[in-house]
Chains A and B, each alone.
Chain A
Amino acid sequence: MSYIPHTDAETRQMLRAIGVDSIDDLFEAVPAAHRFPGLDLPAPMSEMDVAAEMLAISEANDHAGDFAVFRGAGAYHHFIPSVVNHMLLRGEFYTAYTPYQPEISQGTLQATYEYQSMMCALTGMDAANASHYDGATSLAEAVTVALEAGRRKRKKIILSHAINPQYREVVRAYHLGRDIRIIGDRGRGEVVDLMEMLDDNTAMLAVQYPNYFGQIDDFSRLAEAVHASGALLVFVANPIALSLFKSPGELGADIVVGEGQPLGIPLGYGGPYLGYFAIRQKYVRRIAGRIIGETVDADGRPAFVMTLRPREQDIKRERASSNICTNQGLMALAASIYLALMGKNGLRQVGELNYHKAQYAADQIDRLDGYSVDRSKPFFNEFVVACPRPVAEINDELLAEGIIGGVDLGEHYFHLQDHMLVCVTETNSKAEIDRLAEILGGLN
């Protein structure tokens, strides 16, 4: 019986102890008319057959093991050191529950505390939580924090159009039932245009760093303007880019959120990923989700515990600002291990590899007839290419040559028909990049 270990003899003994004749007698409270309905499911399968079936299904996908990937747009193909997976596969980590019993959960608690610390280091913030579901939900939670910080009196949220379109969809869904206005992202407003929208009704302004198009915007006057209006400044940041570029803390951000997937988490068709959330000390009690803090045990031994608990749904119930309970704990552990391995020098090296390779790829593509790269702003590991043909057509041709091309920007941005968002990471070799340019050159 698969993972049910009972022998018939044991089952009989147990039933005797309970005082019933059969297991089915234990279901007497279920209305008889609806008890034990038919179940139209496939027949049981052996482990050997399930393994074969899973392999067959997985092979029906075009994946980065078989293709060169130049696609990012919120999910990135990075090198993941072997150690990450080996540590994640320790049952002591992945088969444990939320550390509500700190005496026997110090492993999870300390690893999460280290994760929080490293996210603070990357973002330039003072505190981070133990995770949200993904980058998009982290941004949606930042909106709630900003509304609370504005005492629910400020009702306007300004989003840059250069924030990942899916993130903006999630923010709108999260706040469907709330009396707020989300503006700024319908047109093509630059950062200075967003600053014009600030007023004393604005709870927050959010930008992406690098933005959805891979570019680094000019934020030099932004923080001052946002804070002058009394609003919060939120950055959605790619953590690998933060290895090179100024921390959002330096740029004046109050909250930094983003997708932690690039930190040692596989593409995995979109999840599980890691929403990171970091914040300035001033607002730390408004943070949703779990937070680990340091303390001591009864002997005075330094140890870790979940703290600021009364904010959470299980205690505050209908007055909680978020309903989050289960988070992405194991993915935060992955990020922790990845950041520990990479460290100060390795992460910087990864950042530089991404930067140099993306600039090189852009150079190769920009010189092709019919193609031009948007060089209006500096970019990190993604860039926008104006193409001579519809992106879908180009991607079909690339696929036939073993390459997964960039995302078609026309799907979300009307003014960017026939524009491709190309991503280049440390996993793309010079040979792959040259091959991409060569094929594109033949498609003008």
Chain B
Amino acid sequence: MGEWKTPAELKYADSDEWFAVDGNVVTIGITDYAQDQLNDIVYVEFKDAGDSVDAGDSFGEVESVKAASELYSAVPGEIIEVNTALEDEPEVINADPFGAGWMVKIRAADLQGIDGLMDAAAYDAYCDSR
């Protein structure tokens, strides 16, 4: 078992995003495991509020010192809110990935994509296996 947090109430993608579902609004960020792997996050860039994404589409990217990673949405819909504070303080993602480090909120056109995601136990096992 790794030393990272994996809140039980969230859903997880194998590309290391977490998803919080509230009605048809889905909040997305990256996991504690992902921020730990990336190490110091120095830059983020997201699509704009008002943009739409398809399931499997990128909604932005994070950059650490030596890597750049795309961020993917599991659901289609319209981006209704972007955590623009992260643009100035990307290190918040390292410090608080499940709280202040949230990235975008999407008003989902459907929630089918959520069904295919892992629960906390499965994601933990997945991280352990890597």
- Measured CB to CB, the nearest residue on chain A to B64 is A310
Q: Does residue A348 face the partner (Cβ distance < 8 Å to B)? A: no
Contact between A310 and B48 (Cβ–Cβ < 8 Å)?
Answer: no
A285, B48: Cα distance in complex, Å: 18
Per-residue CB proximity of A297-327 to B under 8 Å, as 1/0? Answer: 0000000000001110001100100000000
Contact between A315 and B66 (Cβ–Cβ < 8 Å)?
Answer: yes
Q: Which of B47, B48, B66, B70 contacts A309 (CB 8 A)?
A: B66
Q: Does residue A86 face the partner (Cβ distance < 8 Å to B)? A: no
Main secondary structure of the interface of A (DSSP, over half): helix
Contact between B68 and A315 (Cβ–Cβ < 8 Å)?
Answer: yes
A257, B94: Cα distance in complex, Å: 36
B interface, size bucket: 10 to 19
Contact between A285 and B43 (Cβ–Cβ < 8 Å)?
Answer: yes
Contact between B63 and A310 (Cβ–Cβ < 8 Å)?
Answer: yes
Q: Does residue A90 face the partner (Cβ distance < 8 Å to B)? A: no
Contact between A151 and B48 (Cβ–Cβ < 8 Å)?
Answer: yes
| Min distance, Cβ A396 to any Cβ of chain B, angstroms | 56
Which residues on B sit within 8 Å (CB–CB) of A151?
A: 47-48
Q: Which of A385-425 contact B (CB under 8 A)?
A: none
A310, B61: Cα distance in complex, Å: 11
Which residues on A sit within 8 Å (CB–CB) of B8?
A: none
| Min distance, Cβ B130 to any Cβ of chain A, angstroms | 20
Which residues on B sit within 8 Å (CB–CB) of A285?
A: 43, 63
Q: Which of A263-317 contact B (CB under 8 A)?
A: 285, 309-311, 315-316
- Measured CB to CB, the nearest residue on chain B to A285 is B43
Which residues on B sit within 8 Å (CB–CB) of A315?
A: 66-68
Lowest 5 CB-CB distances: which A-B pairs, in order? Answer: A310-B68, A310-B63, A316-B68, A310-B67, A285-B43
Contacts A/B (CB < 8 Å), 6 sampled: A285-B63, A309-B65, A310-B63, A310-B67, A311-B63, A319-B70
Kindly list 13 other residue pairs between chains A and B, CB separation below 8 angstroms, not including A151-B48, A309-B66, A316-B68. A285-B43, A285-B63, A310-B63, A310-B66, A310-B67, A310-B68, A311-B63, A311-B68, A315-B66, A315-B67, A315-B68, A319-B61, A319-B68
